[in-house]
Amino acid sequence: MTAEAGPGVDRPACVLVGPPGAGKTTVGGLIADALRVPFLDTDALIERSAGKPIPEIFFDEGEDHFRVLERAAVAEALAGHRGVLALGGGAVLADDTRELLMEHLVVYLSVELADAAKRVGLGASRPLLAVNPRATMRHLLDARRPLYEEVADVVVPTDGIDPEQVAETVLLALSDPEVRG
């Protein structure tokens, strides 16, 4: 596939959503490499503009402030980024973000509790999972599943599948004229 892949030249080639541990950051990079387009992760955008890592933003300013930064970063990236875009797992919580996503080709990387827990290690790098990680992850998966489904054009299950295979499945879906609209 070439740099023209995706729904149009004036927007991201595709936007990856899904819970923490779904592989959005990892698979997004692989897809961008394959398409030879730039890769952007809104978490990286937020860290760059805040000048500190996400756990520190949560610790210093709280989740609500992080969500404000996230909404702005997602809107900026959806308007300006021309490659593959990965969102943070909680970006779809915002009504206005879900509204914006309606205009984009959105791929939902799904993952169930066992693989998600294994992959994120339930450690400190994701501040939301710092307390009672397994129960929090279960609740988060259940609560957000309908939101991911609401915005998705394509759902790609990732359980038991390595990132390269997930990327191949996404690339195949992106080459389908029906998916690209």
Ligand X SMILES: Nc1ncnc2c1ncn2[C@@H]1O[C@H](COP(=O)(O)OP(=O)(O)O)[C@@H](O)[C@H]1O
Annotated binding site: 21-26, 43, 67, 89, 126, 144
Site string for ligand X, 126-145 (x = CB under 6 A): --------------------
Instruction: Give the residue ranges of the annotated binding site for substrate.
Output: 43, 67, 89, 144
How many C-beta atoms surround the C-beta of residue 163 within 10 A? 17
How many C-beta atoms surround the C-beta of residue 145 within 10 A? 14
Question: What Å distances lie between residue 157 and 11, 41, 73, 118, 165, CA to CA?
Answer: 25, 20, 26, 16, 11
Tokens 């915002």 locate to 94
Supply 67's token pair.
């969500």
Pick the binder of ligand S3P from 6, 12, 20, 23 (CB under 6 A): 20
- Give the 3-state secondary structure of residue 11: coil
Instruction: Rule CB under 6 A: say whether 117 interacts with ligand S3P.
Output: no
Strand partners, 106: 15
Pick the binder of ligand X from 100, 161, 171, 179 (CB under 6 A): 161
Q: Provide, rounded to whole angstroms, the least separation between the CB of residue 77 and Mg ion.
A: 13
Site string for ligand X, 22-61 (x = CB under 6 A): xxxxx-----------------------------------
